[in-house]
Structure 1
């Protein structure tokens, strides 16, 4: 589903990502790990065309997307939940979710019922402003908004950062369901190594804008984590 070949991504004249090459098959879950500041978020933003410039090849579903606008990538079926969630605080929960439907390829604008099965609290808060929700509820709303676009692939950048533990568990369970039950291809930036080991089909570890190691979930040993992920 995703194929990167010799990918460089720039802010200004500086390449933050350098010569990245990897594949992700349809239906797989890829965890992206690494210390702070090594380029994980830049990679997520590069998928969506949110850096200043890309060099190399980046394809999605066999279509080259490196030159496409962000909106066009979304319409191909790439859903993105960034760090900080970026919900619209003055919009209601309902309005935030409906906003996600504008990237749907079939033109439908109705809220999918299954998002309320995944996040029942949102159904109770449909007319509440997004800015009045807790951090964990806002993260659930951000995921629901992305799901409303009927994505083929979901990108989540540290979806449980700064969230209360009981909601962390709920979000982890939803990520697993979306991948295993709904068949969504998922790219996940995650600091929880045991969770990444358990759910990942594949992982990559980044350092200084490069991939320094990759493998299957079973290859993500404590020794590897100690070497590449601790400060």
Structure 2
């Protein structure tokens, strides 16, 4: 579904992602791991076309992403929940979610009922401004907005960072359900190795912008954690 070979990605003239290759199959749950500053967020931004330029090959569902603009990538079915959530604080919960529907190709603008089942609090707060929600509720809103587009794959950048503990487990469980029950491919940037081990069937460890090691979920060993993930 999502494949890269010899991928470089730049901010200005500086290559942040360097000679990266990976293949993520449809329905996979892949975690991208690594210490701070190694290129994890940049890799997601590269997939969305949000860096200054790329070299190498990057494709999704057989489509060459190349210089394709971000909105076109969204219409292919790539949903993105960025670090910091980036909801629109002055928009209501309803308006934020409906924004996601504009990436749909079928023209539907209704909010899918399953979103309320996943996040009941959002139905209760439909007319509340997004900026008035707690951090955890805003994260739920950001995921709901991405789901409203009917994505084939979700890119999530540290979705539980800075979230109150009582909501972290709920968000983790929803992400697993989206993969296991709804068949959505997940590409997750995560610092929580415990969750990555529980949820992933594939992992990629980045170090200095390159793939240091990759494998199946069962191959994410304590030795790898000690070498590449311990601060």
Residue equivalent to 1:66: 66
Measure how far apart 1:74 and its partner are.
0.2
Residue equivalent to 1:91: 91
- Report SS of the residue matched to 1:103: coil
| Equivalences, count | 231
Distance 1:89 1:14 in 2: 33
For normalisation by structure 1, the TM-score amounts to 0.99
Distance 1:166 1:159 in 2: 14
Distance 2:192 2:42 in 1: 19
Distance 2:136 2:142 in 1: 10
Distance 2:41 2:129 in 1: 27
Distance 1:177 1:156 in 2: 14
Matches within 5 A, 1:31-70: 31-70=31-70
Matches within 5 A, 1:153-164: 153-164=153-164
Distance 1:134 1:14 in 2: 36
- Report SS of the residue matched to 1:46: helix
Measure how far apart 1:31 and its partner are.
0.1
Residue equivalent to 2:223: 223
Residue equivalent to 1:186: 186
Distance 1:5 1:219 in 2: 22
- Report SS of the residue matched to 2:102: helix
Residue equivalent to 2:105: 105
Distance 2:40 2:171 in 1: 20
Distance 2:9 2:89 in 1: 30
Q: RMSD over aligned Cα, in angstroms?
A: 0.5
Distance 1:222 1:123 in 2: 41
Find runs of 4+ consecutive structure 1 residues off by over 4 angstroms.
none
Residue equivalent to 1:21: 21
Residue equivalent to 1:173: 173
Measure how far apart 1:223 and its partner are.
2.0
